Amino acid sequence: MIRFGIAGFGLHAVRRLMPGFALAQNCRVIALSRRDQEKAQEAVQQYGIPHVFSSTADLCRCPEVDAVLVTTPNACHLQDVLTAAAAGKPVLCEKPMGMNAGECRQMIEAAQKARILLGVAQIFRFEESTAYLKTRIAAGDIGQPIFARAEFSYPGLGHARSWINDRSISGGGPVADVGVHCIDALRYILDDGPRLVTALARSDVQSRDVEAAAILALEFARGTLATILVSTRAGYRTPLEFVGDKATLRADDGLTVDRPITIEMLRDQKISAIETVSNRLAYAQQVDAFAAAVETGEPFAVPGEEGLQNQMVLDAAYRSILTGKSEEISDSATSRLAKSTWEPVPEK
- Coil, helix or strand for 156? coil
Whether 258 and 293 share a structural domain = no
CA atoms of 306 and 315, how far apart (whole Å)? 14
Whether 132 and 274 share a structural domain = yes
- Residue 331: what pLDDT? 59
Whether 296 and 221 share a structural domain = no
CA atoms of 311 and 223, how far apart (whole Å)? 21
- Residue 335: what pLDDT? 40
Q: Establish if 294 belongs to a structural domain.
A: yes
CA atoms of 157 and 200, how far apart (whole Å)? 21
Write the CATH number for 101: 3.40.50.720
- Residue 344: what pLDDT? 54
- Residue 346: what pLDDT? 53
Q: Establish if 81 belongs to a structural domain.
A: yes
- Residue 275: what pLDDT? 97
Q: Establish if 342 belongs to a structural domain.
A: no
Q: Establish if 225 belongs to a structural domain.
A: yes
Q: Establish if 233 belongs to a structural domain.
A: yes
Non-local CB neighbours of 223 within 8 Å, separated by 6+ positions: 144
Q: Establish if 347 belongs to a structural domain.
A: no
Cα 340 off chain centre by:
19
The residue segments making up the domain with residue 93 are: 2-123+283-302
- Residue 340: what pLDDT? 41
* Domains of the chain: total: 2
- Residue 338: what pLDDT? 37
pLDDT along the chain (348 residues), means of 10: 96 94 97 89 90 96 98 97 98 98 98 98 98 98 98 89 88 97 98 98 91 98 98 96 98 95 96 96 98 96 98 98 94 42 50
**100 to 95, 169, 307: CA distances (angstroms):** 12, 12, 10
Element (H, E) at 109: helix 101-114
CA atoms of 241 and 248, how far apart (whole Å)? 7
Whether 274 and 298 share a structural domain = no
Whether 119 and 203 share a structural domain = no
Q: Establish if 335 belongs to a structural domain.
A: no
At 312, phi and psi to the nearest 5? -65, -35
**119 to 31, 69, 215: CA distances (angstroms):** 19, 9, 28
Write the CATH number for 178: 3.30.360.10
- Residue 156: what pLDDT? 87
- Residue 337: what pLDDT? 39
- State the pairing for strand pair 240-244/118-121: unpaired
